[in-house]
Amino acid sequence: MLPVLFSFGPIVIHSFGVVLVVAFLLSSFAFWQKAREENYDEEEVFDLILAGSFWALLGSRLFYILLHFDDFGLNLWYWVSVWSRPGFFWLGLVVGGLAFTVRYARQRRWDTFEILDLLVVGVSLGQALTHFGLFLSGAGVGRVTSLPWGMVFPGLFEKRHPVGLYGFVAWLLVFVLLWWLEGKYRRFDWYQKFKGDARPGFVAFSYLIVAGGVGLGLALLSEPEYVYLGVDMEAVTRAVLIVAGLLGIYMRSGAKFRFEWKSKIRAARKRKEDVGWHRRRKTPELE
């Protein structure tokens, strides 16, 4: 761990802060690159990145304050004083950023699902680097373990899972996967509709699935932070993301259309058979 990169008198440069800046720049570049490939206006993409980041951070901060309201109360100075009372919650980051992105896309008549497909590629890279920053700062601490790769963190005496390092590796693999999927999912036969076109949204919903899976795995290796009636709410939230992602892919895929088409064919055949049956019943009476 390396919580402080260097210090010069009263000036202290923390590794986590530096990694956050790098994460923002690289994730923004990944999103910009994907949006550029799809011929989006570069200035509008930059506006989305800057404004979306602000609303995402604001949502993350507000969620954290609500979850720790006893520590903040109605003191607005505590709310904005992130240097003396730091804290953000990932779900607020998602809600704030998603709400602004959807609104921004609709104002410019963009395909909302398409822009979300491109956005989550960059977001996954940012999450990987953020977890690495947590590891460097000594914050990504998991449960006690006897495994050989367990680590002793500052202020603790037992080996624990380096959850921050796990998250860095996992999200880096997710970034590679989503980058690949964004260029390939349109060729998946099972996802296409009848004429071979594939509706966007596949990458965004795939992100929900892997985000839920990675988060659930990390939550099980960590001490629960938000517990209600003995239930780890982090794990529950991640499970909900997985279900939402699976349902989303099904609803956007060609499998749903083929199912509906087959249902219509069966219904038409049944009506035809019923009409024929009634005609056969009426024939003797007419004679």
Q: What is the mean pLDDT of residues 99-109?
A: 91
Higher-pLDDT residue of 275, 160: 160
Per residue in 126-160, is it b (16+ CB within 10 Å) or e — as a string? bbbbbbbbbbbbbbbbbeeeeeeebbebeeeeebb
**pLDDT digits over 42-72, tens only?**
889 999 999 988 998 888 888 888 877 887 7
Choose the weakest-confidence range: 2-11, 57-66, 205-214. 2-11
* Confidence category of residue 114, pLDDT binned at 50, 70, 90: very high
pTM more than 0.85? no
What is the residue whose two structure tokens read 């367990």?
Answer: 150
Residue (of 35, 92, 34) closest to 63 by Cα position? 92
Stretch 185-196: mean pLDDT, rounded? 74
Check residue 198 and give its pLDDT.
79
For the cut 80, the answer to whether the pLDDT of residue 195 exceeds it is no
Residue 234 binned pLDDT confidence (cut-offs 50, 70, 90): confident
How confident is the model at residue 187, as a pLDDT?
A: 83
Rounded alpha-carbon distances, angstroms, from residue 203 to 190, 207, 258: 15, 6, 21
Are 218 and 167 in contact, with CB atoms under 8 Å apart?
A: yes
More confidently predicted of 141 and 117 = 117
CA distance 287 to 277: 17
Task: Give the pLDDT confidence score for residue 63 in this predicted structure.
Answer: 81
pLDDT for the residue numbered 286: 44
If you average pLDDT over residues 6-35, what whole number do you get? 84
Q: What is the pLDDT of residue 104?
A: 92
Q: What pLDDT score was predicted for residue 141?
A: 83
Q: Where are the domains of the chain?
A: 4-40+110-273
In eight-state DSSP terms, residue 13 is E
pLDDT digit string, tens, across residues 166-176: 999 999 999 99
**What is the residue-averaged pLDDT of the chain?**
81
The three-class DSSP label of residue 19 is: helix
Q: Which residue has the higher pLDDT, 274 or 158?
A: 158
CA distance 124 to 130: 10
In angstroms, the CA 68 to CA 184 distance is 43
d(CA 137, CA 15): 7
Residues 77 and 92: their CA atoms lie apart, in Å, by 20
pLDDT above 90 (res 26): yes
